């Protein structure tokens, strides 16, 4: 045993067969997302996980001018303005909507590419 | 004033300019999603709005065999099996995962096209 312990063979790293080395890098049950990545990515789905917020995004997207005044978003939902503003803030915080205050009103537009980025999260899960 | 009120001009409908008529049919703030559609579509985002469920999807997707035993999904998350089964049920109910019971264990696989369908919801908002 002392012979093996001192001749270096026992501590030599095994030679990796190229095929085996390749296989060990294939996804095989290993989570592609760690806990922190998953926590970050879940945030945008939380923002989307509400019917009124989906309708707000839909309305802003459908606006031919590219932006919607908060004053035009309240009535179609049948909700009070504080509630609509609360939902809009969640969409802004999630990086889906851009908000610009001009005079009395705030105007909302889609952040370019944001919905595509969410689709990208799904593609790369 | 009575002259205007009786000669018909005041009550005549304005002639629509063709361009104006066309514009009125463009999407202009009208919600593309009604309340019921939005409620349905929000369900899948609710299923995705949790870090552990995103990790479960990620693990099932990464499995080279195409399916994962529930017995292999519990340990990486550091959660108890009842909790993991609860999350898996939500993903099955949302149409994202397929469940097959074989012997003692249940095996989960991605529903083909399901993640693409969610990306499609975002594209068509």
pLDDT under 50: residue ranges of chain A: 1-29, 31
Secondary structure percentages of chain A, helix, strand, coil, to 5: 55, 10, 30
CATH number at residue B71: 1.10.10.10
Model confidence pLDDT, tens digit, residues B55-84: 999 999 999 899 999 999 999 999 999 999
Helix (H, G, I), strand (E, B), or coil: what is residue B98?
strand
pLDDT band (50, 70, 90) for residue B8: very low
- Helix H or strand E encompassing B54: helix B51-62
Domain coverage including residue B45:
35-123
* Structural domain total, chain A: 1
Residues from chain A that touch B45, judged by Cβ atoms under 8 A, are 45, 48-50, 54
Note whether A59 contacts B29, CB cutoff 8 Å: yes
User: Could you tell me if residue B1 is inside a domain?
Assistant: no
| Long-range contacts of A113-118, Cβ-Cβ distance < 8 Å, separation of 24 or more | A115/A57, A115/B122, A115/B123, A115/B125, A116/B122, A118/A44, A118/A45, A118/A48, A118/B119, A118/B122
User: Could you tell me if residue A83 is inside a domain?
Assistant: yes
User: Could you tell me if residue B27 is inside a domain?
Assistant: no
User: Could you tell me if residue A28 is inside a domain?
Assistant: no
User: Could you tell me if residue B69 is inside a domain?
Assistant: yes
User: Could you tell me if residue B17 is inside a domain?
Assistant: no
Is the minimum CB–CB distance between B1 and chain A shorter than 8 Å? no
Chains A and B form CB pairs within 8 A to the count of 134
Residue that is written with structure tokens 């049950």 in the block? A29
Model confidence pLDDT, tens digit, residues B15-54: 444 444 444 444 444 547 899 999 999 999 999 999 999 9
User: Could you tell me if residue B90 is inside a domain?
Assistant: yes
User: Could you tell me if residue A53 is inside a domain?
Assistant: yes
Q: Which of B52, B59, B119 sits opposite A122 (nearest CB)?
A: B119
């Amino acid at each position: 045993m002392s012979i093996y312990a001192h001749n270096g063979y026992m501590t030599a790293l095994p030679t990796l067969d190229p095929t085996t080395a390749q296989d060990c890098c294939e996804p095989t049950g290993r989570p592609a997302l760690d806990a922190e990545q998953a926590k970050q990515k879940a945030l945008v789905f939380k923002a989307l996980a509400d019917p009124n917020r989906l309708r707000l995004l839909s309305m802003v997207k459908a606006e031919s001018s590219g932006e919607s005044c908060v004053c035009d978003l309240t009535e179609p939902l049948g909700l009070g303005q504080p509630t609509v503003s609360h939902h809009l803030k969640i969409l802004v915080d999630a990086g889906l909507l851009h908000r610009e205050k001009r005079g009395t009103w705030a105007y909302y537009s889609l952040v370019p590419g944001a919905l595509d980025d969410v689709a990208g999260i799904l593609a790369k899960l």
